[in-house]
């Protein structure tokens, strides 16, 4: 939490001295509206992740093994861990810095630059150096696209709350069956999968990698068009 407070302090300084703005441009207030956006983002991405996980499990013939040691307290700890982690990353990659970039270089360049930086960041967080060009390109594309969708949502809604819901929900959902650290395979583990040739494996890998982000982007645009989510373009600030 101290790290988040420090990031907020630096964000305030950047916004104040560069753009003459306050932390209000991050869209955390009014709190009630922000919490609604957070819940919408969280629930939507959980549903999308579930859909693509189900389809992938059919394509790859997953064999699911129930974790007999599942504990609600571990799930709660995982939720809290990922809330802090997601909030930290949102503040860094789609917070004050992105707002300033949008004002200075325009939304299109700023959104793509933010997405690329977010993708490159995952090379380090996943420790991919030395893993080969294919793995690095894959992670750049997958995480970069997620970063773009979340940045686009922030730009269009004027709030980090819905992107935070997407980020938190996505990471939290994956802890229930993937061997992530420090929390993973909380409820299930995948103990067997069908094996295909390398090209088919690559295509199947891109399906659950790109699919959730593309569907999320479609849903965001649909909600904005139908006025189901408030549109407050950041360039209007």
Range(s) of the domain holding residue 78: 2-236
- How many domains are contained in the chain? 1
| Burial track 185-198 (b if 16+ CB lie within 10 A, e otherwise) | bbeebbeeeeeeee
Nearest Cα residue to 52 out of 216, 185, 221: 216
pLDDT in tens, 121-166: 999 998 888 888 988 999 999 999 999 999 999 999 999 999 999 9
pLDDT in tens, 45-80: 999 999 999 999 998 889 999 999 999 999 999 999
State the pLDDT confidence band at 203, using cuts at 50, 70 and 90.
confident
How far CA 145 is from CA of 67, 170, 213, in Å, comes to 32, 14, 7
pLDDT in tens, 5-36: 999 999 999 999 999 999 999 999 888 999 99
Cβ within 8 Å of residue 199, ≥6 positions away:
none
CA 2, CA 88: separation in Å to the nearest integer? 11
């Amino acid at each position: 939490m101290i790290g988040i407070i420090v990031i907020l302090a630096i964000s305030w300084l950047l916004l104040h001295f560069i753009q003459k703005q306050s932390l209000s441009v991050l869209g955390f207030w009014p709190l009630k509206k922000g919490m609604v956006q957070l819940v919408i983002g969280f629930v939507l991405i959980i549903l999308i992740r579930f859909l693509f996980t189900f389809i992938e499990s059919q394509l790859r013939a997953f064999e699911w093994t129930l974790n007999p040691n599942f504990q609600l307290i571990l799930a709660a700890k995982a939720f809290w861990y990922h809330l802090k982690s997601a909030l930290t990353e949102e503040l860094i990659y789609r917070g004050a810095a992105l707002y300033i970039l949008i004002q200075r270089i325009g939304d299109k360049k700023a959104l793509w630059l933010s997405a690329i930086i977010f993708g490159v960041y995952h090379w380090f967080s996943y420790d991919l150096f030395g893993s080969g060009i294919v793995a690095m390109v894959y992670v750049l594309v997958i995480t970069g696209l997620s970063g773009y969708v979340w940045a686009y949502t922030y730009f269009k809604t004027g709030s980090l709350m819905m992107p935070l819901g997407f980020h938190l929900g996505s990471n939290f959902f994956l802890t229930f069956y993937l061997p992530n650290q420090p929390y993973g395979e909380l409820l299930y583990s995948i103990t067997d999968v069908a094996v295909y040739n390398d090209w088919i494996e690559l295509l199947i890998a891109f399906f659950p990698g790109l699919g959730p982000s593309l569907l999320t982007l479609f849903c965001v645009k649909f909600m904005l068009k139908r006025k189901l989510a408030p549109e407050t373009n950041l360039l209007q600030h």
